[in-house]
Each structure stands twice: as structure tokens, then as C-alpha cells.
Chain A
């Protein structure tokens, strides 16, 4: 199987608060997970690569102190948007690549989390 879930599916928060988004691989182990941001009618922008048991690798221009990523186990990665502001409102999507399988080069995507910051 290759199912990835995200929680919550949507969240509304006040400006200045922090929001945590969970990404889980339900039926496979993933040593690597990825976090993307998608703006309306645009493609996905890779924010960071999350490696189990080590620090995430952030793409250029992504603030690591604002978007905290933790990959605590082989099936769970979390993204915390700290001190959120309206410009952080977006669709956040995670993906995971199966470890130790022939489709290890394939990323399976979660359904996404819609974040709205008021």
C-alpha cells in the first residue's frame, strides 16, 4: 500500500499563533518525507525534505525557524507554522517515499491541509 494521511485537513487560526500539521504514512515506512506549499492555481513548491531522526533540509528561501519540521518516527512527520501570519495562508501538502521497496523513488502524497490565518 501507499497511503499518506494529513491532519487536520483544514485549520483556521489567529495571527500570531502556531499551528501543527501531521503527516503519516499509514501502510509503509518512510525514512524521507517532503513538505510542499501550493498557492492557488499554481504548482507545488518544495519547502523541505524531512529525514527520520535528523534535521530537515530546507529549500532556499524557506525560513527554518518559522516552519519547524520534526520527523519523529518512520511513519510520522510534523510541520509547525510558528507565529502564523495571513501570508502563511496556503495549502500545505506532504509526501512520503517508501523505504526498502522497489518504488522507493516514488512519492505518495497526502490530501493536503488548508491553512487560513486571520
Chain B
């Protein structure tokens, strides 16, 4: 079945450091790919998405490119802030099914 694998956390960075959170997937067909963020005590928020190969999703300085050849959707940000501290979930949705398959989540801790 479909699955998503994320790097284990926590990822600990200093403010203004470069961020990469790896995400790879296994799926039949051509899934849509998502990054969701969950701030402490809150529900999930859609951060960005990409629906086909080579698409780049971007939002709030975060970017991720849909790489079909490596089945990856790594999340990057050039300069993190303390306010980016949260749990980041990579997910996929296969066409026609709508069901989201989530990775286990990666906790990001950014210190001043």
C-alpha cells in the first residue's frame, strides 16, 4: 500500500539556519503531495502542496519540489525562525481516493 517516510526528529536548529526535512513516498499512480504543519496545541494547517511531477509548492518561505524520479518531496526553508517550531507532516493523496496517508511527523525546534 501507499506509504510516506519522514526523517525522525527532533530537528534542532538555531534561528536563521537552513532547514531540510526529508520525505519519501511509495505509491501507485500519481499522488498529490502535501506538507502540513501543526503548531503546539493546534490542529494541522496545510503548508504547501504539489499535484504533479516537478511542481514546486511554496508558502511562508517554505518550499518542496515533487521529484518523481526519487519519489521525494523534501521540505526546505532558507532561514528558519523561532516561530517555525512545530511538527511537520508529509502526506500523500492518491487520485480519486482522497484519503491522506501521513508520515510520522518531524518535530522542529528553533532556538534564538
Residues of chain A whose beta carbon lies under 8 Å from any beta carbon of chain B: 2, 6, 32, 34, 41-44, 46, 49, 93, 95, 97, 104-112
Contact = CB atoms under 8 A, between A and B. Distances in A.
23 contacts: A32-B98, A34-B99, A41-B107, A42-B104, A43-B103, A43-B105, A44-B89, A46-B99, A46-B100, A49-B99, A93-B43, A95-B100, A105-B51, A105-B93, A105-B98, A106-B32, A106-B46, A109-B44, A109-B45, A110-B43, A111-B42, A111-B43, A112-B43
Contacts of A34: 99-100
Interface of B: 32, 34, 36, 42-46, 49, 51, 89, 93, 95, 98-100, 102-105, 107
- The dominant DSSP class at the B interface is strand
B46 to A, nearest CB: 6
Given A105-B93, A109-B36, A44 B43 contact: no
Of B44, B51, B93, B102, the most chain A CB neighbours within 10 A belong to B44
Contacts of B107: 41
A111 B44 CA distance: 7
Nearest to A103: B49
B9 to A, nearest CB: 10
A95 B95 CA distance: 17
Given A46-B100, A105-B93, A108-B46, 12 more contacts: A34-B100, A42-B104, A42-B105, A43-B105, A49-B99, A95-B44, A97-B98, A105-B32, A105-B51, A106-B34, A106-B46, A111-B43
